[in-house]
Amino acid sequence: MEGEPFEASVRELISPEGRFADFRAASSGVGRTPRLCRADGINDIVVSFALSSGGAGWFGNPDAATKLASGLLRIRDEGRPYVLQWTGVDHHTLHVDVPRARFTARTLDRILAANGTVPPPGGLVPMLAAQMRSLAEIAGNLDPSACVAGLRAVLELAATTLQLSFGTEPADSEVCEDGVLIAAQGLIRRHFGWADLAPDHIAHRIGCSRAQLYRVFGRNGLTVAGYLREVRLENCRRALAVAGSRESVADIAFRCGFTNPVYFAHLFRERFGLRPSELRALAAESAPE
């Protein structure tokens, strides 16, 4: 607060589509006054993820205080004043700023009514939290073009999460499609090793219907099964190309989600033009002695 020492660090990714911030601070407090809200005109919708936090604050209404806790996403209207008082020696939060223009008027009204609260559990909420954490961990090692791509992916997923949680349009409207595709592809890339990963399971995990899942992939020239197969094959190829690995071809295939070794070998040769064992032999020959 004013007059108190305050130590903080922030890393930001900014584009015309929105902003991502990785914020750390010592125990202290911050606020956004009505005067500042009027002066800077910033009124984005902010989704915050508290990695380590504690304390209390209010959002828009000083008479409606709330406790701050770790492990939660929270919605904030940057156009309204707030005061946050943190406890503990390390406060670490991640923030995604989504412009209001991303939402229809009715959906925006419902989001604004939820100012200062956590979104309904389930759906894409856990995936958004995981993707925000992942971007924070790798952003420092990305080149500028990759940073832009990562920021856009998180912004799309954040907007879709809010749309599905508070939207008045059908969940399969075009507003949600980019986010649904990003969420589904992210789920597949993280869990490709699950042998029972299927469209029904994917759709259930990200909160859409199977028909919508098929349609979103189809409009992007993809199929769910084809994308999953490609992710599995690419991971198998990378594992087989590691010289000196003691894993058998069958073990690698199984770890990547292929339960039939004969079918796996057929797919691998069709995709890469050589047998899995041949790639492993080439990797061994090219390894430095």
C-beta separation of 161 from 197 below 8 A:
no
C-beta separation of 78 from 42 below 8 A:
yes
C-beta separation of 260 from 243 below 8 A:
no
Instruction: Kindly report each contact of residues 144-151 with a partner whose C-beta sits within 8 Å and lies 24 or more positions away, as own/partner.
Output: 147/13, 148/13, 148/15, 150/13, 151/13, 151/14, 151/15, 151/17, 151/18, 151/19, 151/20
238 or 7, which is more confident? 238
Do domains 8-169 and 228-286 share one topology? The answer is no
Give the chain's mean pLDDT: 84
Q: Is the pLDDT of residue 203 over 70?
A: yes
Q: Where are the domains of the chain?
A: 8-169, 228-286
Report d(CA 186, CA 168) in Å as an integer: 25
In sequence order, which residues have a C-beta less than 8 Å from that of residue 83 and are 6 or more positions away?
A: 29, 30, 31, 32, 57, 58, 62
Q: Give me the CATH topology for the region 8-169.
A: Jelly Rolls (2.60.120)
Grouping H, G, I as helix, E, B as strand and the rest as coil, residue 21 is: strand
Report d(CA 54, CA 88) in Å as an integer: 7
Which residues does residue 96 pair with via DSSP β-bridges, in sequence order?
Answer: 20, 47
Class of domain 228-286: mainly alpha
Report d(CA 143, CA 13) in Å as an integer: 12
pLDDT in tens, 9-65: 888 998 878 899 998 887 677 788 888 888 888 889 999 998 887 888 888 888 888
Confidence of residue 1 (pLDDT cuts 50, 70, 90): very low
Q: Give just the sign of the alpha carbon dihedral 112, 114, 116, 120.
A: negative
Name the burial class of residue 224, with classes exposed (0-12), middle (13-18) and buried (19+) by CB atoms within 10 angstroms of its CB. buried
Q: Mark out the alpha helices in 210-286 (DSSP H runs).
A: 210-219, 224-240, 249-255, 261-272, 276-286
pTM: 0.64
How many CB atoms lie under 10 A from the CB of residue 154? 24
Report d(CA 253, CA 261) in Å as an integer: 7
pLDDT in tens, 79-134: 999 998 877 777 889 999 998 888 878 888 889 999 988 887 777 888 899 999 99
Half-sphere exposure of residue 104: CA atoms within 13 angstroms, side-chain side = 13
